[in-house]
Amino acid sequence: MKGKQFLSGQSILKRIFLFLIPFGILLFFAFLQILNLMIFQSEKFKTQADTNRVLKEKVFPPRGLIYDTKGRIIVDNFIRQDLVITPNFINDYSKYLSLLSEITGEDENILENVFYEKLSEIKPFQSFTLLRGLNDEQLAKLKLNSSNLAGTEINPSFSRNVVYGESSGSLIGYLGFASRKDILNNSNLKNFNDQQIGLLGIEKEFDEHLRGTIGYRFSEKDAKGRVLDVLAIEPSIKGKNLKLSIDIELQNELYKEFEGRKGALIAIEPDTGFIRAMISSPSYDPDHFNNLNVEKIKTLLSNKNSPLFNRAISGQYPPASTLKPFIGLVALEEKVISWRDKILDEGEFFVEGDERPYRGWKEGGHGEVDMEKAIAESSDVYFYNIAFDLTVSSISPFLEKFGFGKSSQLFKNESEGILPDQKWKLGQKGEFWFKGDTINMGIGQGYILATPLQIALAYSALINGGKLISPRIVESIDGEEEKFSSKQIDIKNKKNLDYIQEALISVVESDTGTAKNIFNPKLRIAGKTGTAQVKSLIDDKKYQEIRENILLRDHALFVGYGPVEDPSLVVVVIVENGESGSLVAAPIVKKAIDFYQK
């Protein structure tokens, strides 16, 4: 038997060496490749890494739509094409802007101003919109020259369209860009610095709901800013839809009545607080702002008639004789006078120690009048008397219960009006309160001022049993109904409300009522006329001289509601410098109630 043969140590090492040779060769070549990539070709790959970038870009959502109470679209969106640039892909800004101006026909100086302003606001590799709403000719030329315009994209975006233009302009408002101050006050606007937001009206008040949530697109771009691949998308979320309480058909019909006139109208349901029409005249087409029509915007901003000012919520007017029913009510509540007590009205009222007469509007006066007749015929002397006995300490707190002197909070830019008293006059005028101030206040003149909305809310409370309602302009947001609230006014004797309503009916139905011209037995309307002085006058001769200046003529007011049996609408109309409440304002109120009933 042969013995076992054992391999020597040298033989084993030789075999291991032969086995490892292929692996060594592979490792050698791998090392050479790593060396090549890290040292010899590092600049090439660094450049490639720098030129091909993955960018995160905003995707703006469409704004929510706005409907009227019957589901008709008032504001919608349409798609436009915008020119978006990423400055980091542009080598020579000056050359680029010059070429872009030549291609698009846009003013080079304007392009430069916008470009450098935006450039100072953005981070590296961020994009921004340089031109909005490109036309077909511009789009065609840009497409032909795309190879010469590095860092340039044509992106679709949404633009606003206010369907009925001027008639709803003051109500809807317009879009614009957030200012630095806006962004500082609201950090949520930071991401919308390149997108229009609501700056006025409904668009502003409900902007947070309407504007939606931004999405993002992650894309890889080459050295010229061209998209190589879209890697991922975080979709944007569309803004919420609003359903307004406005009846757009009623709104359009009534706006026609204000052609060539300055003024305002509020039509509100006295029980629900829903505003069915809100008009401010003159108005404007919001799409001039939405679509950045510079020339139209300049014209609107320089218009002396202030079309951007919403007179319905921010206009402050003397309520004039429309305040008399409230003065009558507080007199009844305080038992200064009873419903059937009579006062002799001979056309003038005198205060002991003061030789100056407080004149009534009717020469010779109205004779013996009780409260019903005084309201129906609008006797100034009657209300001078009861205001004198009441004092401002009784009047102002009572009027405050009906919403005078404070905002209803419907809009942030709503005026509070002025509800004066001794403290107010001392603070604002540096003077003491005089008895004459109370007498003037008794007929809605003097320092007291109110908005059309405040007057509408106060009259709603007169006829709905003493409830001060919160006005509502939005019925629902994405189908979710808005809340409603009201506050019961403390009335000592509800019978007094009935008395005032009787008087308001007599304004229209009495043979001597100041609004008898709008009487219609088939649709009974009640209300109150008013003539608000723009300039205080002493005698009739001076009045005729003043009338020659149209801007100094009296404002015409009428507040009406109907049908009398079951009031569905309260309407306030103010026509600036219209002079006659019965002839100018009352017919508009009649048309509003008649149209709404039909």
Tell me the DSSP string of 122-189.
Answer: PPTT--EEEE-S--HHHHHHHHHTGGG-TTEEEEEEEEEEETTTHHHHHHH--EEPPPHHHHHH-GGG
Selected residue with higher pLDDT from 545 and 459: 459
Confidence bin at 323 (pLDDT 50/70/90): very high
Fold adopted by 310-475+484-597: Beta-lactamase (3.40.710)
pLDDT by residue (tens digit) across 424-438?
999 999 999 999 999
Confidence bin at 292 (pLDDT 50/70/90): confident
Which 3 state secondary structure label does DSSP give 393?
Answer: helix
Q: What percent of the chain has pLDDT over 90?
A: 72
pLDDT by residue (tens digit) across 86-119?
998 999 999 999 999 999 999 999 999 999 988 8
In angstroms, the CA 218 to CA 516 distance is 71
What pLDDT is stored for residue 187 in this prediction?
A: 81
What pLDDT is stored for residue 217 in this prediction?
A: 87
Give 526's contacts (C-beta < 8 A, 6+ positions apart): 501, 504, 505, 507, 508, 509, 560, 561, 562, 564
The answer to whether the beta carbons of residues 526 and 508 sit under 8 Å apart is yes
The residues with which 84 forms a beta bridge, in sequence order, are: 129, 153
Whether 338 has a pLDDT exceeding 90, the answer reads yes
Whether 554 has a pLDDT exceeding 80, the answer reads yes
Angle (CA) 574-576-580 rounded to 5° is 75
What pLDDT is stored for residue 33 in this prediction?
A: 65
In angstroms, the CA 226 to CA 315 distance is 53
What pLDDT is stored for residue 50 in this prediction?
A: 47
What pLDDT is stored for residue 342 in this prediction?
A: 97
pLDDT by residue (tens digit) across 147-172?
899 999 999 989 999 999 999 999 99
List of E strands, 317-437: 343-345, 348-351, 354-359, 367-369
Q: Mean pLDDT across the chain, nearest whole number?
A: 90
pLDDT by residue (tens digit) across 13-41?
666 666 667 766 777 666 666 666 566 56
SS3 of 227-271: the string is EEEEEEEECCECCCCEEECCCHHHHHHHHHHHCCCCEEEEEECCC
CATH of range 55-244; options 2.40.50.140, 3.90.1310.10, 1.10.3720.10, 3.30.1490.20:
3.90.1310.10
Tell me the average pLDDT across 179-193.
82
What pLDDT is stored for residue 41 in this prediction?
A: 60
Tell me the average pLDDT across 313-339.
97
The answer to whether the beta carbons of residues 130 and 154 sit under 8 Å apart is no
What pLDDT is stored for residue 358 in this prediction?
A: 93
Enter the pTM of the model. Answer: 0.86
- Per-domain residue ranges of the chain: 55-244, 310-475+484-597
Q: What percent of the chain has pLDDT over 70?
A: 90
Selected residue with higher pLDDT from 404 and 550: 404
In angstroms, the CA 195 to CA 189 distance is 9
- For 195-223, the DSSP string reads S-EE-SHHHHHTHHHHS-B-EEEEEEE-T
Whether 521 has a pLDDT exceeding 80, the answer reads yes
